[in-house]
Every structure is written in structure tokens, then in C-alpha cells.
Amino acid sequence: MSNLDAFKQHIEEGYTFKSHAVTLGTAMLNEEALEQTLVKAPLRTFNRHGLIAGATGTGKTKSIQLLAEVLSQEGVPTLLMDLKGDLSGLAARGKDHPKIQERHDKIGIPWEATGFPVELLTISEQNGVRLRATASEFGPVLLSKILGLNDTQSGVMSVLFKFCDDNGIALLDLKDLKKAIQYITTEGKEGFADEYGAVSTASTGAIIRKIVELEQQGAELFFGEPSFEVDDLMRVDDRGLGYMNILRLTDIQNRPKLFSTFMLCLLAEIYGTLPEAGDLDKPKLVIFIDEAHLVFNEASDALLSQIESIIKLIRSKAVGIFFVTQNPADIPDAVLGQLGMKVQHALRAFTAKDRKAIKLAAQNYPISDYYKTDELLTSLGIGEAAVTVLDEKGRPTPLAATLLRAPRSRMDILSAAEIKDLIAGSELVGKYIQDIDRESAYEILGEKIKAAQEMAEKEEASKAASKSTSSSSSSRSSAKEESMMESLSKNTMVRQLGRTLMKELSRGLLGAFKKR
């Protein structure tokens, strides 16, 4: 058997599955595509998570499109984080091109232009379906991790939530949270301390500063009502195609704290909402997180630990997560070890540091008798990738250099008019567009603070009035005393003057008598 025939057999055995699988492309050897040597991925293992990596311009975005399309075709909805603004084209049919036909002739499968059902979402001021969550839905533990609080401050956050729960006070947004902290450190301090223990103003001051830092990144737009319902992410259209929910994030690239806050909240909400499902024939939802380094770079150790835990556990809810980044090194090892499917585009070696990083990246893939992995990673062309997936038993498939299928939707963005029309036709925009600001901690505790301040002002005014009356009475008494003293003093002066005159007269008379 020739080396080529052995390689084909190697790929066919590694990528033949008993369960339904989706085709990603065809295998390559010595930089040549081998027709009908198809590289596939079992649909049921998409909940084992994945990685799409590669240098800028190597085709990562097209791989996101491809995977979202094959999932949608199978009735699996997706959520895509669009930080660069180049995924909206999924809603429109692609345009045929000779290069696309040439690629698919090499793969050996047909290509047909298709548009997919798309919902545009937003957590900022961009147009689209507004995603919100309340502070209560975050809960004290998750919120403390997001804010990077220490143990003492986290304890304060926990008793604050307990106080609000016990008193039926809703914590909906960040201004509610700040007002509650203000209350337990000022007018409500004594009552709170009696029931829950005293809190340090140093701790509450630190929490307020952390909240303000989050507000400065625009988080106040994300906290509030109505809360987004997870079920609205898992819709299919009347053709049976899974919806592609594209979250527009182009205006928060410089606000990584907000991005990681949103991601952690969303993952926690999905995990908390969905029932246990295990390994189904296909996942319920697949999430693609582009520019994944933004999630991890600004995260505290506690936040990273929380993300790692959710990644490990959420697969049991039949939810898959794909991280998209330039280099696998951007992903913490504890998370990277959970990513079963890897689509690695080309890496570029411009420096000694780059070459070292490529050697490390190569170690994330199965050892191959047909490729020198570190060399393969630098020789891949645009739209080519080193691929390995998990089979039904959770075992990595052989490494395959793959010529990937071309996306069937538009490989460009929608125009402003097309985006406007897409949003206008949305069933969800009207559901979430209204900003609800019902009575909550800000109003309830604000009234208590105001009432306490007014009472204090009345007491001060009463004390001042009482002091003024007492002062006036004292002044009148003093005046009378002074008048009497003056009278007496005047009488005394008169008498004294009289005595002095009499003495002088006596001395004068005596003197006169003596001269005689």
C-alpha cells in the first residue's frame, strides 16, 4: 500500500462515525487536497466544546460561519459573539464565485448559496434585541467574583443580598446596589447591625468603587429589566433551521470587563436554566466566543475559576462552547484541556518568541505519522486548518490538514439598510425594547434615607429652637441683673462720690483751720 493510500485509509477510519456527522472539508497531504477524503465531526460531540485559532487573515471568521451554518442546517441554534462586526452576512445568501467552485471541486461536494435565520442582539446602545439581567439574577457570589472582591467584601455583599431578600427589596440594577450599600452604612446602619452585624465602611467603600469601575465600562445598560430569557436563544424557523443569534459587540472591544461580565452571567444563566441532558444526538445550543482573550485577560483568579467550572459543567446541559482566538496560548490550560474539537488555522513565525509559541501550540494536537505539526501550522493557506475532533467515545481523531468548505452565506457584512430591515422584522425586538424601571431598592431605600434625613433635620431644628428660647430667657435674666447691677453700681458711685467730696471738704476746712 502506498503512503497516499495508507493516509487515505487512516483518515477514513478516523473520521467514519456511527452517529450523524457534519462535513467540514477534505484532507490534505503535502499541501494537496484529496477529493472525497472527507473530514467530519459527529454532531453529538459538539457539546464537548472547541477551539478555532489562527493568525489574523487565515480564515477564523469563515470557520465560525461554516460551523454555524452546518449546525443551523441540523436545527441547532447558535450564539455568536461578533466583536469585529463581520458576521451579519450570515443572514444573506452567498454569491457564487469561480474560486468557491474550484474549492468544492477539490473537496468533492456541491456548494449552494443559502441565507440563514439571524437575530441581532445587543448589550450596548447598538440596535437589536436588548439583553439584560438583574443584579439579583447574578447573585452575591457571582457578582463578588465579577467585581473582584476579597473574602470580607464578599461577605458584606452576601448579607446585603440577604437583607434585601428578607425585606422584599428588589435589586435590579447597579444604582439599586449602590443605594442599598448607602443605606446600610448611613441611616439604616443601626437597624442593619442589630440584625446582620456591623459592616466596615472601608469594605463598603471598596465595593462602591468596584461598581463605579464597572459602570464606567457601560454595564448599567446591561443590568435591569426585562431579563432576557434563555429559551429565546434556542429557536428554529419554519424551515427547521436553527437561529443564529449574533451579539453585536463592536463598540465594547475596549471594555473587556463588561464583555467578561456578560459572558459569565450568560453562561451561568444558561447552566442554571436548562435541565440536565447529557450527550444527546445533537446539542441544544452552541456558543462561539470570538476574541476570547478578552474574556480571560481582564479576569481575576476567582473569575477564571468560575469560568473554568462552568465550562466543565455546562456540557451536561447539551451546550457547546467554542473559543476563537489567535493563539491557543490565549486560553488558560484548565479551559484548553476541555476543548475537544480544534480547528487550527495558520500561525506566523516572525520572531523567536513566535517560533517557541508555535512549538507549544503543536503539542496540543495528536501526534501524527504524516505531519510535522509545528511545520504544518506555518504552511497552511487561507481557508485551510489542522483539524481534530472527538469521536463518539470521546477519543481524539487523527490530525488532518483540511481544505475547509466555503460558507454558503454572504462572506461580507450586511448594509445599514439590510440591518435595519432585519431588526424591523424581528419577533424579539418588541419584547425586549422597553426599559422597565419598577420600584426597587433605589426607590424604597431612597425614601427611607430621605425620611430619616428629614426627621434628623426636624430634630436639629427643634433643638435649635429650644436652644434659642433658652438663650433668649437667659438673656432677659441677664439684662435684668445687669440693670439692677447698673442701678446699684450707680447708687454706689453716687455715695462714693459724696464721701469723696465730703473728705475733700473736710481736708480743706481742716487745712484752713491749721493755717490759722
State residue 167's pLDDT score: 93
Instruction: Give, for 129, the enclosing helix (H) or strand (E).
Output: strand 129-130
The C-alpha torsion from 54 through 59 and 60 to 64, rounded to 10°, is -160
Residue pLDDT tens, the chain, 516 long:
688 999 999 999 999 999 999 999 999 999 999 999 999 999 999 999 999 999 999 999 999 999 999 999 999 999 999 988 889 999 999 999 999 999 999 999 999 999 999 999 998 878 899 988 899 988 898 888 888 899 999 999 999 999 999 999 999 999 999 999 999 999 889 899 999 999 999 999 999 999 998 888 888 888 899 999 999 999 999 999 999 999 988 877 667 777 777 788 888 889 989 999 988 999 999 999 988 887 787 666 777 787 888 888 999 999 999 999 998 988 988 899 899 999 999 998 888 888 998 998 899 899 999 999 999 999 999 999 999 999 999 999 999 999 999 999 999 999 999 999 999 999 999 999 888 888 999 999 999 888 888 887 887 888 877 776 666 555 555 555 555 545 544 454 444 444 443 444 443 433 433 444
Contact between residue 113 and residue 408 where contact means Cβ atoms under 8 Å apart: yes
CA 112 – CA 95 distance, rounded (Å): 9
Q: Per-domain residue ranges for the chain?
A: 3-131+225-432, 135-219+439-448
Nearest in space to 76 (alpha carbons), one of 52, 46, 115, 40: 46
The CATH superfamily label for domain 3-131+225-432 reads P-loop containing nucleotide triphosphate hydrolases (3.40.50.300)
Among the residues of 74-168, which ranges form H helices?
98-107, 135-147, 151-166
Residue burial 213-230, b: 16+ Cβ < 10 Å; e: rest: ebbebbbebbbbbebbeb
Contact between residue 324 and residue 292 where contact means Cβ atoms under 8 Å apart: yes
C-alpha cell at 11: 483518515
Secondary structure tally for the chain: helices H, strands E: 17, 12
Instruction: Give, for 269, the enclosing helix (H) or strand (E).
Output: helix 256-273
State residue 1's pLDDT score: 64
Helix 174-185 to helix 189-196 angle (10° resolution) is 90
CA 247 – CA 68 distance, rounded (Å): 14
Q: What is the pTM of this model?
A: 0.83
